[in-house]
Each structure stands twice: as structure tokens, then as C-alpha cells.
Structure 1
Amino acid sequence: MNFNYRPFTVLKHKEFIIRNVSTKERILNAAEHLFCDFGFDNTSLRAITSEADVNLASVNYHFGSKKQLIQEVLARYLSVLMPALDQKLIAMRESGEATSTETLFGALVEPLLSLEKVRPNGTRVFVQLFARAYYESQGHLRRYITSHFAAELKHLNKALHLAVPHLSPSEVFWRWHFALGSCVFTMISSKALSEIAEAEYQQHMVIEDLIRKVITYIAAGFSAPLTTEV
């Protein structure tokens, strides 16, 4: 998958980054912008300080290291997404009703859409950053997420297994990552896909429409019966 393009540039001009925000926010906004465009590995602290119009000492003061800066960029979204999703999971569990995969994945819709309030194009930006974290093997982010959102991840993992009792833990692992891959591709390519749908099929798609479509698809695949192993 090629991420070397700019489908979701968050901030077009430096003045939008530096206007009416704190030094820490300027650094976070600049880092997010550059991480989306160039990735974590290919973005230097020098590039971030130049974009944010701050000195390196400011980055060290507020974040300590590039890894911690990356974590805080993602944390702006995760701190909204994970508690919101957890509330949905708790409500489903307390209802006492059996949970289908479509209901389970459907619980992601509102939490994902709530990211639009975090930053402009927040849902797409978060998914792109999340995809880069996998693509570029940012192991420290995995450790950060599992340590800071352990309870939420435990609830999600339990809900996934309860929704598909016919699947082994290893099969759930693979299907979960296939589902993530489908969602990531759809979100990252959403602008192009929406333009094609409008031109070819006269369908006007907004971000919520795309999320619901891909969730219907991955829910069916996630719960599909096992085929003959190869």
C-alpha cells in the first residue's frame, strides 16, 4: 500500500498552524500534518519545528522525544475514540442480548464520526495515522495503546470473541486484521472512491455513508463460517 501521497492534507498553510494556538498545539498540528503526508519515519524533528515555527528545545520540553510526540498526536484521537467505543460495548453487554457482528461493528460508527470534532477531517486523518503506525511498524505505539487503553481493548476483544463463538482465537486475530485493512483502505481512498461513485453511479457519499458500507461488508466477512484449511 502506497502512502506517499497527500489525500488528506490537514493544514494547507503554516499560518493556520501558528495562529491562536499554544506552542504545544502548534507542534502537535504540524507533526500531524507532516506525519499524514510523509509518514513517521520520513518526518524529522527539524521539519516539524520548521513547520510549527518553534525551536527544538520546545519539542523536547513538551514531549521529550519524537516517539512521545507521535504518541500524543494519536492520543488526541484515541482519548476520544476508545472511551466512546467502550461505552457502546458496555451498553451492549448490559442489554443481555446476543450481539451480532453487524451490531458490534456498528458500534464503531458514532465513535469514529466523533473524531470529526477533534480536528478537521478527523476520522480520515486518524485512520491514515493508524495505518501508517502499522505500515511503518511503530511498535512503541502498540505498547502505548495497550498500556493506556487496556480496559477498553479487553472489552473489545471479549465482545469480538462472543460475537463469533465458532471461531478460534487465531481466526479472530486474522479476521480482525482483515477487517482493519478493509476499513483503512476505504477511509484512505474515500475521496477517490466517492468521486468514482458519483461519476459512475450518481451516488453522493459522505464519510458516514462510507463507514456504514464498509462495516456491513466486514461484519459479514468476520462472521463467515470457516472454510477448508489449506
Structure 2
Amino acid sequence: MAQKDTARSILDSAEELFSERGFAETSLRNITTRAGVNLAAVNYHFGSKKELIQAVFARFLAPFCDDLGKALRGYEHGLAGQSPQLDALLRLLAETSMAAGGGNARRLGIFMRLLGLAYSQEQGHLRKFLRNHYGAVFERYMQLVTAASPELSDEERFWRIHFMLGATVFTLSGVESLTAMAKHDLGVSTGIDGVVDKLVPFLSSGFQAPHQE
């Protein structure tokens, strides 16, 4: 197996196993067994389990953040002094996510499960890695979200952002099962684009709901 193919096989296996079992519960032996390689190959290509976890995220986030940065620059240029709109920002983020996943619902679902694990499992090195490498583009995105919601306090905005994130991760991490349920229960056939079309206005409405004292 060529070195490039070996690295890809390790990443593919790690991505799937981490999303299925979690970071702590997945050993390097689990990964090498599924990838059909030995431990030396992991050490050669990635150095350690921590660096392998980071590489799994980088494979998705590097192109995603490049595309998001370009999309944000285009969006800001088009504002021409107008205030940003939350619906448009959410749609922009959703479209960039789907493009980074190559339109593959399974791949996007895997990444969303990994993203959820990054928040729910103690992985301090991962949060530091994500902040150092991709924090700038997300900070710019959040500046636009803040400008689009001046009526919210920082505290209220914090909670609503994380509630939106939770709903998004839950929905997109299981989008294949969700569309299958819609087909079975409602007789409705839809793809990931259709799910996002329903998710975005739901998120926007919740985020912008009147604050209850």
C-alpha cells in the first residue's frame, strides 16, 4: 500500500471509529486493525493518537474554513453598509458544510458526530488545536452573528448559539436515519438539502425569539 493510501486508510478508519465509539474508547489497535496496518504506520504518519485526532478534524475543517472564509468575505462585500441577517448567515454556514462534505450525507454525519464529541468529551488538546488553527474564521463569523442580533445580551446569545449547535449536530449526525424515517412515516422523500431547508428557519426562529425575563 502506498504511503498516501496508508495515511488515508488510517484516517478513514479513525474517523469512523471515533464517531462510533468516542475518542477515549477507541484505541490505536482498534484503528490499525480496521485499517489493515501496523502501529508503526500510525506513528510514522501521525506520531500519536492526539495528533491523529487532530488530523481527522483537519481533513474536514481545512477546506471548510477556507471556503467559509471566502464566503464570508463575499457576504460582507455584498452588505454595502447593511446589517447582516441571521437567516443568510445560517444558510451560508449550512451550504459551506455540505460542500465540505462533498454532498455526502454519511460523511457529513460522521463529522457532526465528531464535532459533538469534541464538545462532550474532555479533549483539551483538540479544543486548543481547533482554536489555534481555525479560530479566526469562526470568530469573524460570530462577529457577524453578533451584529445580526444586537437585541441579545452576550449571555443570551451564548446559550442560543449552543442550543443551535446542539440541534444542528443532532439533526445532521443522523440525517440518513431521519430521511429514512420521513420516507417510512410520511411517505416523503428528501435529501440532505431538504433537511437543511427545514432546519435553517427553525434555528433562525429560535435564535431570534423574544427574550423572556
What TM-score does the superposition give when structure 1 sets the normalisation length?
0.85
Cα distance change, pair 98–82 in 1 and its aligned pair in 2 (3 A) = same
Count of residue pairs brought into register by the alignment: 211
Aligned structure 1 segments of 4 or more residues deviating by more than 4 angstroms:
18-21
The residue that corresponds to 1:30 in the other structure is 13
Cα distance change, pair 145–20 in 1 and its aligned pair in 2 (3 A) = closer
Paired AA for residue 142 in structure 1: R
**Deviation (angstroms), 1:68:** 0.7
Determine if contact 1:89/1:159 at 8 Å carries over to the other structure: no
Once residues 106 and 2 of structure 2 are traced to their aligned partners in structure 1, the CA distance between those partners, rounded to angstroms, is 19
Which of residues 64, 67, 70 is equivalent to 1:87? Answer: 70
**Deviation (angstroms), 1:212:** 2.1
Which of residues 30, 34, 47 is equivalent to 2:30? Answer: 47
Which of residues 149, 159, 172 is equivalent to 2:144? Answer: 159
Counterparts of residues 187-198 of structure 1 (less than 5 Å):
187-198=172-183
Which of residues 134, 158, 161 is equivalent to 1:173? Answer: 158
Cα distance change, pair 32–111 in 1 and its aligned pair in 2 (3 A) = same
Determine if contact 1:27/1:59 at 8 Å carries over to the other structure: yes
Determine if contact 2:85/2:148 at 8 Å carries over to the other structure: yes
The residue that corresponds to 1:149 in the other structure is 134
The residue that corresponds to 2:195 in the other structure is 210
Determine if contact 2:19/2:111 at 8 Å carries over to the other structure: no
Paired AA for residue 143 in structure 2: K
Gaps of 5+ in 2: none
Gaps of 5+ in 1: 1-17
Secondary structure of the equivalent of 1:111? helix
The residue that corresponds to 1:4 in the other structure is none
Which of residues 52, 59, 64 is equivalent to 2:47? Answer: 64
Secondary structure of the equivalent of 2:47? coil
Once residues 100 and 211 of structure 1 are traced to their aligned partners in structure 2, the CA distance between those partners, rounded to angstroms, is 17
Once residues 113 and 178 of structure 1 are traced to their aligned partners in structure 2, the CA distance between those partners, rounded to angstroms, is 20
What TM-score does the superposition give when structure 2 sets the normalisation length?
0.91
Secondary structure of the equivalent of 2:101? helix
Cα distance change, pair 121–115 in 1 and its aligned pair in 2 (3 A) = farther
**Deviation (angstroms), 1:169:** 1.6
Percent of aligned pairs sharing the same letter? 36
**Deviation (angstroms), 1:65:** 1.1
Which of residues 46, 53, 57 is equivalent to 1:74? Answer: 57
**Deviation (angstroms), 1:20:** 9.8
Counterparts of residues 63-142 of structure 1 (less than 5 Å):
63-95=46-78, 96=80, 97-117=82-102, 121-142=106-127
Looking at secondary structure, tell me which structure has more helix per residue.
2
Once residues 76 and 119 of structure 1 are traced to their aligned partners in structure 2, the CA distance between those partners, rounded to angstroms, is 15
